[in-house]
Structure 1
Amino acid sequence: MGAPAMAPLGAQISHMLRARGVDVIFGIPGVHNIELYRGIEAAGITHVLARHEQGAGFMADGYARASGRPGVAYVITGPGLCNIMTPMGQAYSDSVPVLVISSCLDEAAAVRGQLHQMTDQRGAAACVCDWSEEARSAEAAYGLIDRALVEFAAGRARPKHIQVPIPLLGQVVAAAPQVPPGQGAVRGCPAPGDMRAIAGELAGARKPLFILGGGLAGHGDAGARLARALVAQSGAAAFMTYAGSGLLAPDDPMSFGCYLGRSESKRIIGESDLVIAIGTELSQSDLWRDELGHEGRLIRVDIDPEMLTDRHRADIAVQADALLFVRQVLDVSGAARPAKWDRAGIAAAKARFRAETEAERPGIAGLCDALRAVLPEDAMVFSDMTQFAYVAREVWDMPAPGMWHHPTGFGTLGYGLPAAIGGAMARPGRPTLCIAGDYGFQYTVQELGTAVEMGLPIPILLWDNGTLKEIEDSMVASQIAPNAVKAVNPDFCKLAEAYGCLSEAPGDVASLQGALLKAFEADRPTLIRMTPELTTG
């Protein structure tokens, strides 16, 4: 249904978003933003009612990661915006296109004591997103929304916040302008001459090495297809960042996997005379060290110019979209070259990496193997901050990119469940899996109600070890007597059932596998409680 010629601005915003491809909005209505809810149903948008604004933000994040389209959330003034700022920070660090639209007071300086009042709401949001702006007119609101949507597509996708004064949301205004014919986003691409020079360096390198990141993985199957062709044609080896998981096939003999954060990777990178990092920040949570380790030349490729001038100063910095860069390099490269790395050496290094992982957190890798063996190939995984996920991100090879999502940069507890809800809304009828730890799960456990309400068959693998184990281990390693790491847990199965979920507590690995497959066929979420005893069975 088209937008009415005249209607309150809140309703027109929903119609505008629908006309630009938004079909799901996450949020919570309140007295300060009810005008945003006037037009949702008429516009044909599905609204997902979160139990907390933090959940709404993570749902929008999960939806965006799963669909490749912006995730949109409606929240109220003051506390509503504050509650969604943690998800905004997560979306910022992980380059996720999330648009938060909130109401705001029309006067906050001369009048005190108002409901939901903050001294600087716009400024507070600006600390955790790309930009935060206030629309003082309908035209400004429409312009800011279009600006956000174009920037999501044209550059590095980071969250935006738009706030609209409460009285303005209720004003009757004309509909938003139509999308201009031919309007689209153009991503940067270097000149063919530059590509020939880089292709020449790649051809002449003795041991070229790629580091493949989320900027390429965000292109899905197309990114994987070109990444695999690039590695095969150049004779190079490659690491994938956690965000780049799945770009190379699990059995690719030239892949070092997602073990970039292992200390020995620094030595391996130092053996290469040409390192090409594509679509990755090379951040602390990618490397877990200050230095990349390269001794030879470094080429950095990123759509964000800020990344090209960081501490890993590159010999050649290329501002470009990762997919277009790889495509052009392939276009100007010659015949395929034989492998320039020893396959047996790569396999041996991966075996050492896995052994380190198993020694640090015993037993979890075996459970990952068992779960991976039965997980549907098109299942998408959303994980929380938990030791189970830390192991899985390294040892669980994904068959395709963009299939495992984790709060890598900001590192927020409570991400997994609501993000999985958003992901499931983006992929109806396709399997979605949540992995969470016992402590972080309780940050957003109330979103079980949303998952039940939407009828989402999400298996929730809950790693229940009764402690903040990662923190306890860190305390011991720092010679601190462990304290404040034990918490009284609820009966998670009964808690899930109280929300209307199904629950399972398998006693062995075969039962765990069966519970997972059964959960995908259910008509609601299933909480599957895993304990460390499973690793010794």
Structure 2
Amino acid sequence: MKTVGQALTEGLVARGVEVVFGIPGVHTIELYRGLSGSGIRHVTPRHEGGAGFMADGYARVSGKPGVAFVITGPGLTNALTPMAQAKADSVPMLVISGVNRRSSLGQGLGLLHELPDQAGLVRSLCPSFQVTGPEALERCLNMAFAAMMSGRPGPVHIEVPTDVMGMEAAAAAAPIAVTPALPIPEQIAKAAARLNRAKQVVILAGGGARAAGAELRSLAKALDAPVVQTVNARGLMGGHALGVAASASLHAVRDLIAGADQVLAIGTEFGPTDYDMYVRGGLPDLAGMIRVDICPLQLARHPAAITIRADSRSACTALLAQISAGARQGAARAEATMTAARAEVAGIAPQAPNQIALLEALRDAVPGAIIVGDSTQPVYAGNLLYDHDRAGGWFNAATGFGALGFAPGAAVGAAVAAPDTRVFCLIGDGGLQFSPAELRVAVDEGLDITYLIWNNAGYGEIADAMRAANTEVIGCAPSPLGLQAFAAACDLPYACITPTPEALRNAVALPGPRLVEIRDF
């Protein structure tokens, strides 16, 4: 007999799932019975939050949904923070949990891991589907994958009651193919006509353009248009003369946008942490823009002259076929903007240029690496102004939802997705203490991750913000871990360096897993 738990795993394999991140428990044993012999790789985190962040990092690098198995109740509530981060950054993540037997749900019987309404808790964040019986399994899987892949990506939850997991499974059906939305030809023609008439086009690229790197670069070249990249789009234009790898919150970048006679926005939600991180308003009027997005709700949130509902790759390809190439001094405009942005950043945050220099030294020392960041000062600096050399190779949780402790788990997921690529996890000493145990997973799995710990002995960025607000600094000095002893406890090689480019280059010469402390105090 094949159980529902086994059939669920087979359904994941049929949909291209190769890795599951999870911690087994008494409520998910039948799910794990299905993993045996399935060919799916299982990676064991140390906390369900780590499982979610690993699924996130895996999805960002692989382009496939990241999958996590968690137990009922606290396992799922621990995964809610990663799910919220994935929702904020449009990352496809499937969290599969158990739930108590159907007859007990909502009864308050005091069962192990019981919640009053587990699915209701999740539905405030994302879709949740319950496998009410064997016949419902294929429907739930199809709906979950359609929700993750047919529109704006994000997290989805499936729960399987414990009394259903062991039932005899219904016959499996072929997965339903999910195809992306294609642009409407009339909209493409109108947009192309506007772009061809324009003399100073500017492209705004967001995380929704991550999978359209080649198409975006070709379109930018044809339009001779600078491309402003949000944090989740960094690397799409790595080293390109038309790339503007600087925050649209900076005056220099806003001046570039204001000077455009046509703005083309591709896969960007115009979130404040990318476009107004200083909460000062003043973003140029974008009502005349052409906007491309997969999500109709996003298209409805900002006025635009033309809206195109489509995935970024299809839209860029369709536009490129109708663009008349012309010289618009794009490279000169991009270079002038980056020069002005560097000067502006130095005035806003005097320590940022040195931190950006560290990032550039790391990039140049290990070309094509993936840098996974947490909320820490060098990452904030890089989000303001840093050009990475790999599409999708710079991402972090310092924008949008902003979950501290994101990076250790996400780096594991990234390394599993790209086993032949060096991965760097850049995290502060404070953020590290949110999820320190996930470093051990890199050792267990033999992953090439170098953990770069920016140690300023506290929450340095928050302390600076409190001082800037003329507020007494309280609660910002938690004692850091003794990182040499911590590295030894994790069986990680250890080095301690000063925050200089030369020291960093030397410290990353050897592959991971290893821990490098960058001491800034």
> For the superposition of Structure 1 and Structure 2, which TM-score range results when normalised by the shorter chain?
over 0.9
In the alignment, does 2:154 pair up with 1:158?
yes
Matches within 5 A, 1:244-255: 244-252=233-241, 254-255=242-243
Paired position in structure 2 for 1:228: 217
Paired position in structure 1 for 2:181: 188
In the alignment, does 2:100 pair up with 1:113?
no
Give the TM-score normalised by structure 1: 0.91
CA offset at residue 147 of structure 1?
1.9
CA offset at residue 475 of structure 1?
0.7
CA offset at residue 334 of structure 1?
2.1
- Measure the CA separation in 2 of the matches of 1:74 and 1:348: 47
CA offset at residue 71 of structure 1?
0.7
CA offset at residue 175 of structure 1?
4.5
Q: Residue 413 of structure 1 aligns to which amino acid in structure 2?
A: L
2:9 pairs, out of 10, 14, 29, with 14
Paired position in structure 1 for 2:134: 138
Contact preservation (8 Å) 2:54, 2:413: yes
Contact preservation (8 Å) 1:202, 1:274: yes
Contact preservation (8 Å) 2:363, 2:389: no
Structure 1 pair 509–325 and aligned structure 2 pair: CA distance change class (3 A): closer
Paired position in structure 2 for 1:395: 385
In the alignment, does 2:503 pair up with 1:511?
yes
3-state DSSP of counterpart to 1:145: helix
CA offset at residue 353 of structure 1?
3.8
CA offset at residue 497 of structure 1?
1.2
Matches within 5 A, 1:331-410: 331-339=321-329, 342-343=332-333, 345-356=336-347, 358-359=349-350, 361=352, 363-375=354-366, 377-407=367-397, 408-410=399-401
Paired position in structure 1 for 2:164: 168
Q: What is the percent sequence identity of the aligned residues?
A: 35
CA offset at residue 249 of structure 1?
3.4
Contact preservation (8 Å) 1:271, 1:295: no
Residue-by-residue CA offset, 1:90-135 (whole Å, 9 max, x unaligned): 0111011100111111222234211111111111112222x01212
Contact preservation (8 Å) 1:258, 1:393: yes
CA offset at residue 141 of structure 1?
2.1
CA offset at residue 231 of structure 1?
1.6
- Measure the CA separation in 2 of the matches of 1:363 and 1:510: 12
Measured on the aligned residues, the alpha-carbon RMSD in Å equals 1.9
1:125 pairs, out of 122, 127, 137, with 122
CA offset at residue 392 of structure 1?
2.0
3-state DSSP of counterpart to 2:411: helix
- Measure the CA separation in 2 of the matches of 1:42 and 1:112: 36
CA offset at residue 362 of structure 1?
5.9
CA offset at residue 251 of structure 1?
4.1
1:477 pairs, out of 463, 468, 487, with 468
Paired position in structure 1 for 2:67: 72
3-state DSSP of counterpart to 1:390: helix
Paired position in structure 2 for 1:31: 26
Q: Residue 505 of structure 2 aligns to which amino acid in structure 1?
A: Q
Residue-by-residue CA offset, 1:302-345 (whole Å, 9 max, x unaligned): 000111121x3212222111111111111012243342674463
CA offset at residue 358 of structure 1?
4.9
Paired position in structure 1 for 2:419: 428
3-state DSSP of counterpart to 1:99: strand
Structure 1 pair 402–274 and aligned structure 2 pair: CA distance change class (3 A): same
Q: Residue 271 of structure 1 aligns to which amino acid in structure 2?
A: G
CA offset at residue 284 of structure 1?
1.0
In the alignment, does 2:201 pair up with 1:211?
no
- Measure the CA separation in 1 of the matches of 2:181 and 2:507: 46
Contact preservation (8 Å) 1:70, 1:99: yes
Paired position in structure 1 for 2:303: 313
CA offset at residue 301 of structure 1?
1.1
Residue-by-residue CA offset, 1:344-384 (whole Å, 9 max, x unaligned): 63353233244346525463122223222202x22111111
CA offset at residue 265 of structure 1?
2.7
Paired position in structure 2 for 1:3: none
Contact preservation (8 Å) 1:232, 1:336: no
CA offset at residue 174 of structure 1?
3.4
In the alignment, does 2:245 pair up with 1:257?
yes
Paired position in structure 1 for 2:265: 277
Q: Which moved more, 1:61-70 or 1:361-370?
A: 361-370
Residue-by-residue CA offset, 1:445-466 (whole Å, 9 max, x unaligned): 0112211111112100100001
Residue-by-residue CA offset, 1:229-253 (whole Å, 9 max, x unaligned): 212211322211111112223241x
Q: Residue 401 of structure 2 aligns to which amino acid in structure 1?
A: F
Which runs of no fewer than 5 residues in structure 2 stay unpaired?
none
Residue-by-residue CA offset, 1:140-190 (whole Å, 9 max, x unaligned): 1221112222333322111000111101011122342233xxx42222222
3-state DSSP of counterpart to 2:98: strand
Structure 1 pair 291–301 and aligned structure 2 pair: CA distance change class (3 A): farther
Q: Residue 327 of structure 2 aligns to which amino acid in structure 1?
A: R
- Measure the CA separation in 2 of the matches of 1:461 and 1:14: 36
Structure 1 pair 286–494 and aligned structure 2 pair: CA distance change class (3 A): same
- Measure the CA separation in 1 of the matches of 2:298 and 2:22: 33
3-state DSSP of counterpart to 1:276: strand
3-state DSSP of counterpart to 1:187: coil
Q: Residue 439 of structure 1 aligns to which amino acid in structure 2?
A: G
Q: Which moved more, 1:465-474 or 1:108-117?
A: 108-117
- Measure the CA separation in 1 of the matches of 2:254 and 2:502: 38
Contact preservation (8 Å) 1:57, 1:87: yes
Query: What is the aligned length?
Result: 513
Contact preservation (8 Å) 1:214, 1:279: yes
Residue-by-residue CA offset, 1:433-480 (whole Å, 9 max, x unaligned): 111110111111011221111111210010000121111111111110
Q: Which moved more, 1:501-510 or 1:34-43?
A: 501-510
- Measure the CA separation in 1 of the matches of 2:92 and 2:358: 33
CA offset at residue 514 of structure 1?
1.8
Q: Residue 196 of structure 1 aligns to which amino acid in structure 2?
A: A
Give the TM-score normalised by structure 2: 0.94
Paired position in structure 2 for 1:149: 145
- Measure the CA separation in 2 of the matches of 1:299 and 1:510: 44
- Measure the CA separation in 2 of the matches of 1:139 and 1:339: 61
